[in-house]
Structure 1
Amino acid sequence: MNQPRILVVDDEPQIQRFLSVALSAAGFRVQTAETGAQALRLAATGAPDLIVLDLGLPDRDGKDVLRDIRQFSTTPVIVLSARDREAEKIEALDLGADDYVEKPFGIGELTARLRAALRHAAHAAQPAQRIEIDGVAMDFDKRLVTRDGAPIKLTPKEYDLLAVLYRNAGRVVTHRQILAAVWGPAHGEDTQYLRVFIGQLRAKIERDPTAPTIVKTEPGVGYRAAEP
């Protein structure tokens, strides 16, 4: 069984040592980088399956490194950072990060997020034509949504909104990303408009819209569809 290759980019030696040991024990092959320049070189030449990226690097801001990585690679990137402001999270996700984990962190949660990101990348390589979450299935070929086999009637925008979330199941999708994908870049700031549509969508697909299990809110950042 192939071990996924993880590139850990962090300039703190103790974090590097801890993650190298913990992730190796969890079944990953680990490579490390201390600077943005090293990270870009290894991302381009080392063919990692996933990158864990700190934002506070000695030579460059991690967000700039992320922006450069996205110029040539779709490798999943999980930001691991002590920066906990919503604006930092939103900017990193908008730049193409697949997830954002705050320091201090639990290794169990981090490895679970690594596995989820790797599963999503594998699915993205061969886009699924049918995705089911908690009994609600989307058949992309038929453009059909059902719950336990019974059709659910969605408007075209509700369908497109759910499709964006399902295609990114397990990942946070920011307000801006959703609005741009469904309504166009000019609507990137219309978060209240999006909230209304999310409410309408939940009323149709969730067993209990007041306690959603399919479309979950990431406060101040966006939404996340549960893992299939």
Structure 2
Amino acid sequence: MSNTILVVDDDQNICELIKMYLEDDFNVEIANDGRDIQGKLRNTSPILVILDVMLPVKNGWELCREIRKEWDIPIIMLTAKGDETDKVLGLELGADDYITKPFSPRELTARVKAVLRRSSSGGGNAQIIRFPGLVLDIESRRVKVNGEPVELTPKEFELLFLMASNSGRVFSRESLLEKIWGYDFDGDTRAVDSQIKRLRKKLEILPDNHSYIHTVWGIGYKFEVQP
């Protein structure tokens, strides 16, 4: 199994610093721009991508969107921008975490390991969760709606698994932030709303399909199968 982390950043000093701190636990591959990101992913088969926002050729937002079209890989965005809107945009595009420069290499290492733990949670137990029109295979992290496979990002899968495993339970937005993004994530609850919106769109692919995720006004969301 691959143990590679792909770092995409045009600052060579940053790349070397990240590599120095991660190479005891991971194989670190470096790319200095956004050219042929799909080729780099195929060649390195990374378990996680650290992606700078301000890149030549293609910026980090474009690359994050491009990766998410075909790859179910955790992504940590790395940027000098600290504006809250930028953080929310990255999460809306499918990023799993967001770190602002300048950063502590030890914090980055901790976040990398935390994201990898969350993305692989549940993988050790062969388990299938079934609802009318919906099947979650926990071991393979695959989802089918009416028998057809649906591609989910790691965060979308984690949200669905958490809520489907607790059908009928109401989760506040703050609770979902803590459980899915981690207690140290300092974004706001709009990230949850954006992920829920994307997840609903993927699950409710047919006009007459069941609905699964419902808004509890003033509180948050719950999973419940409704015709």
Bin of the TM-score, shorter chain as denominator length: 0.5 to 0.7
Q: Distance in 1 between matches of 2:195 and 2:35?
A: 31
**Following TM superposition, by how much is the alpha carbon of 1:15 offset from its aligned partner in structure 2, in angstroms?**
0.7
The letter for the 2-side match of 1:91 is L
Quote the residue 1:23 is aligned against: 22
Q: 180, 188, 193: which is aligned to 1:168? A: 180
CA contact (8 A) 1:94 1:177 kept: yes
2:101 corresponds, among 97, 100, 103, to 103
- TM-score of the pair, normalised by structure 1: 0.62
CA distance in structure 2 between the partners assigned to 1:64 and 1:139 by the alignment: 30
Cα contact 2:177–2:192 (8 A) shared by 1: no
Question: Structure 1 residues 63, 124: closer, same or farther in 2, change over 3 A?
Answer: farther
Q: 1:126 to 1:14 in 2, by over 3 A?
A: same
**Paired AA for residue 113 in structure 1:** R
Structure 1 residue 178 displacement after superposition:
5.2
Q: Does 1:197 align with 2:196?
A: no
User: 1:96, 1:49 → 2: CA distance?
Assistant: 15
Equivalent AA in structure 1 for residue 75 of structure 2: V
Residue in 2 that maps onto 1:42: 40
Task: Spell out, residue by residue over 1:3-33, the C-alpha distance to the aligned partner (whole angstroms, 9 max, x if none).
Answer: 73110000001111111112113x1110000
Letter of the aligned partner of 2:41 in structure 1? A
Q: How far has the Cα of 1:159 moved from its partner?
A: 5.0
Which whole-Å CA distance do the structure 1 matches of 2:60 and 2:199 have between them?
Answer: 29
How much does 1:196 deviate? 3.3
Structure 1 counterpart of 2:121? 123
Aligned residue in 1 for 2:170: 158
Q: Distance in 2 between matches of 1:158 and 1:16?
A: 42
Given the alignment of the two structures, is residue 57 of structure 1 paired with residue 69 of structure 2, yes or no?
no
| Cα pair 1:11 1:35 within 8 Å, conserved | yes
1:169 deviates by: 5.4
Superposed displacement of residue 106, structure 1: 0.5
Structure 1: 5+ residue runs without aligned partners?
Answer: 130-137, 145-155, 186-192, 202-228
For the residue of structure 2 that corresponds to 1:93, the secondary structure is: helix
The letter for the 2-side match of 1:93 is L
Look up the match of 2:6: 7
Structure 2: gaps of 5 or more residues: 129-161, 203-214, 223-227
Q: SS of the residue aligned with 2:69?
A: coil
**Secondary structure, counterpart of 1:44 in structure 2:** helix
Match of 2:140 in 1: none
**C-alpha distance after superposition, 1:170-201 (max 9, x if no partner):** 3857142355279879xxxxxxx989315x99
Aligned residue pair count: 172
Whether contact under 8 Å (1:161, 1:178) holds in the other structure is: no
The 1-side partners of 2:74 and 2:21 are apart by: 19
Query: 1:109-154: CA deviations, max 9, x gaps?
Result: 111110011111212656878xxxxxxxx8955x47xxxxxxxxxx
Q: Which residue of 2 aligns with 1:224?
A: none
Provide the C-alpha distance between the structure 1 equivalents of 2:115 and 2:72, rounded to a whole number of angstroms: 12
